[in-house]
Amino acid sequence: MSSAQPSGNDAGHGDGDLASRLAQTAGEIEALLDALLGDAAQDGEIARPARLLAAMRHGSLGGGKRLRPFLTVETARLFGVAPAQALRAGAAVELVHCYSLVHDDLPAMDDDDTRRGRPTVHKAYDEGTAILAGDTLLTFAFEVLADPATHSSGDVRAALVLLLARASGLGGMAGGQMLDLAAEGRFGAGAAEKLSEVEIRRLQAMKTGALLAASVEIGAVLGGASAGQRTALAAYGRALGAAFQVADDILDVEASPEQLGKATAKDQDKGKATLVSALGLDAAKRERDRLSAEAVAALAGFGAEADVLRAAARFAAERTN
């Protein structure tokens, strides 16, 4: 790892750069997604149906913190990766995240009408179009990663594809969503299932944490990180992902719909399994802060160059939307 002295205990160090770096990366990811989702058919494509493309753009452009691609870009920055390559990898991660939101909002899933202060894709278009838009955002993510423009090495590209597929599939995000639906009582007598704290943590590690952790690891693989560096960064990503989810559960209780740009208090209404319901609000806040500190501590072997990642871990816990 870096031989520079760790700065993980310097409270607030790096936080000043976080807002500007988040905004910069969000703008660059927005511009890249806008270009990737352009009207013109690419090599190997026959045509890009206008309605499908418009729905994909609605579901992926014009909002969001872009935290996942930010983590990819900032981790890649530690290893001197060319910005264009890091942004492509980050865009692939964001495409998977956006697909998940489009599908999560469907009536068969969370049945939400608004996202980021706008109508959800199935409301702006229709359910069939929303399903296809989500499907296509997902497959397009792997097209972006597998393109030689992302990395010249086929071995590296294959490793990136494997990481993202595992984080988003059966043992990751999609599997976590299934556990979440089961916990709501969708497939039994109809009553919400009471999950243990261990089961809730596993569900959340899959549904939310896996993709956040992969966002970090993808940046590390892209940069040729050593085994030790990958281990430390993976631990950082897992702790950050867990902190982010607990913070999300707390915001669902405390924030207003205007703050979040979507309906709130839905977890409690549906009997969703959260650490707030398992631990209580005050204990959940303590756990959120503990996980944030754990993420920061995981970067102890890195020097000041990782301060923005440390600040991101604090942001994941302290955010208000």
For the four alpha carbons of 91, 93, 97 and 99, in that order, the dihedral sign comes to positive
Does some domain include residue 3? no
**Per the domain annotation, does 10 fall within a domain?**
no
Whether 9 is covered by a domain: the verdict is no
- Which residue range forms the structural domain that includes residue 283? 15-318
Q: What does the block give as tokens for 145?
A: 């990663």
Q: How do 114-115 and 118-119 pair as beta strands?
A: antiparallel
Looking at the structure of the chain, the number of domains it has is 1
Cβ atoms within 10 Å, residue 158: 13
Is residue 280 included in any domain, yes or no? yes
Q: Give burial (CB, 10 Å; 0-12/13-18/19+) of 182.
A: middle
6 in a structural domain: no
In a domain, 204, yes or no: yes
| Start-to-end Cα distance in the chain | 34
Please identify which residue in the block is written with the tokens 């309605």.
51
pLDDT in tens, the chain (321 residues): 333 333 333 334 466 689 999 999 999 999 999 999 999 999 999 999 999 999 999 999 997 889 999 999 999 999 999 999 999 999 999 999 999 999 999 999 999 999 988 999 999 999 999 999 999 999 999 999 999 999 999 999 999 999 999 999 999 999 999 999 998 888 876 666 789 999 999 999 999 999 999 999 999 999 999 999 999 999 999 999 999 999 999 999 886 666 555 555 555 556 678 999 899 999 999 999 999 999 999 999 999 999 999 999 999 888 877
Residue 180 backbone phi and psi in degrees, to 5: -65, -45
1 within a domain of the structure (yes/no): no
Q: Is residue 83 situated within a structural domain?
A: yes
CA distance 20 to 130: 33
CATH assignment at residue 151: 1.10.600.10
pTM, to two decimals: 0.90
Q: Which residues pair with 119 in a beta bridge?
A: 114
Q: Any idea how long the chain is?
A: 321
Report the C-alpha gap between 77 and 100 in whole angstroms: 26
